[in-house]
Amino acid sequence: MEKLIKSATVLDPHLIKNDFPVFKRRVNGKPLIYLDNAATSQKPESVINSIDNYYRNHNSNIHRGVHTLSYESTVMYEEAHKKVAEFIGAEDWRNIIFTRNATESINLLAYGWGLHNLKEGDEILITIMEHHSNIVPWQMLRDLKGIKINVLGVDEKGNLKLDDLPGLLSERTKLVSVIHASNVLGTVNPVKYITQEAKKVGALVLIDAAQSIPHLSIDVNDIGCDFLVASGHKMLGPTGIGFIYGRTELLQDMEPFMYGGDMIEKVTIEKTTWNELPWKFEAGTPNIVGGIGLGVAVDYLQNIGLTNIYNHEEELLVYALEKMAEYDWIKIYGHKSDSQSVGVISFNIEGIHPHDVAGMLDEQGIAVRSGHHCAQPLMRELSMDFAARVSFYLYNTKEEIDLCIETLKKIKKLFE
C-alpha cells in the first residue's frame, strides 16, 4: 500500500502540461508530443527554477566552509538526501548515496562490494530483461574474478520464467540483480517475491528501479532488498544525478568507489580513514545543484501522488494497446498477460525500419525512441534487432496517442 500519497484525485494531464515549459515549443511546426519518457522525462518549472535559484543565490561548495553560502548549500544538499530516503521508505537518509545515474550506482556496487567480496566460483543472477548497465559491470567481475553469471529468461508473454528461479539459486549465489520494470516490455517484475527467494540462499539483492521509480510507489523495507538504484532524469529531475540505496551495515563494510576529497575522515602520508555515510561514497565536489533539483522533483511527484500517476498511465497504456491492436501490421512486444506493466510499448511496423518510423513521427512533432534500447540480449530473445517505443508519463493524453496512431497509419500507407 502506498504510504506517501495523502489523497487520490483524478490527474489532469492538460493542467500538468502547464508546469512544463518545453510544451510551449513546437517541433517542425507542430506542437510537441513527447512519448520518449522511458529515455528521460521532461522537467517541471519548479525543478528548473530550483537550479536557477541555487546558482543565483546560494552557490558554494558543501562541507568546506563556515560562511553562510556554504552552510546553506550543505543544508539544501543534505535535505535532498532526506527527501529521496523518505520517497523510497529508507530507514535513514545516510543510506542514500548520490551518484550520476543508475549506471554509476551499479558500478559503485560492482567495484566497492563485488571486487572485494566475490571470488572464483561465486555466482550472480540477473535476468534477460536487464538494461546493459546491469549486465556489463558483472561481466567485468566475471572476467576479473572468475565468477559465473546466471540468467533468468522470459516466456512468450514477456514475463520472467519464475518457475526456473529456484533452480538458478544456490549457496553459490551471492547477488541477485534484477530490473524492476522493463524498459522494452514495460513488465513490472515481482521483486518482493524474487527477493524472498534470494534470501533463502543468503544472496544479496539489488533492484534496478530506473524505470519503475517514476511511476510506482516503492518501499525498500517492504521489498526487503539490500540495494536499489535509480536515475533522477527519468523522474523529473536533472540529468547527471542518481542514487543508490544500501543497507547501513553493507555500506559501512564496503570499500569506496572513488577516492579523494570529502570522502575522507583523516589523511596522513601513511594511512587514510573514511568519512561517515553517505560522504564515504561521494568523493570530490558532487553535483550539488543536481541533488537539490532531484529533491524538488521528489516534492513534485509527492504532490501529484504516485498512485494518481500510475493510474493515469495505466489508462493510457490500455487505451494505446487497444488502438494499436486494431492494425495487424503493428507488432507489439510483451503485454500478452494481465501482469502489471508501466506505460511502455515497444513495436515494429511490418516492412518499415523503426528508425524510419521514428524519423517520420518526428516530422509531425512526435518524439519516440527507436533502436535496441540498451537491451540487446532481450531483443535477440524476442527475435528482433531494433524496435520503436512509445512511453507515457503524467503529462501525456489520449489525444496524443490518437495523433501518434494516425501518423503511423499514414507512414504505413506511404511505404505501401
Catalytic residues: 374
Q: Sign of the CA dihedral 281, 287, 291, 292? A: positive
Looking at residue 42, its amino acid is Q
The single-letter DSSP state of residue 181 is B
Q: How far is CA 237 from the centre of its chain?
A: 12
Looking at residue 195, its amino acid is T
- CA-to-CA distance for 276 and 382, rounded, in angstroms? 46
173 contacts 200 by C-beta, under 8 angstroms: no
164 contacts 174 by C-beta, under 8 angstroms: no
Does an H or E element contain 246, and which?
Answer: strand 242-246
The single-letter DSSP state of residue 62 is S
* Residue 294 Cα distances to 34, 50, 74, angstroms: 21, 10, 15
Collapsing DSSP states into helix, strand and coil, what is residue 207? Answer: strand
* Burial category of 368 from C-beta neighbours within 10 Å (exposed 0-12, middle 13-18, buried 19 and up): buried
DSSP collapsed to 3 states, 286-320: CCHHHHHHHHHHHHHHHHHCHHHHHHHHHHHHHHH
42 contacts 20 by C-beta, under 8 angstroms: yes
399 contacts 366 by C-beta, under 8 angstroms: no
* Residue 43 Cα distances to 20, 22, 174, 298, 314, angstroms: 6, 8, 38, 12, 21
Strands (DSSP E) contained in 296-394 are 330-333, 344-349, 366-367, 369-371, 387-391
**Strand-strand pairing, 204-208 and 173-179:** parallel
The reply to whether omega before 256 is within 30° of 0 (cis) is: no
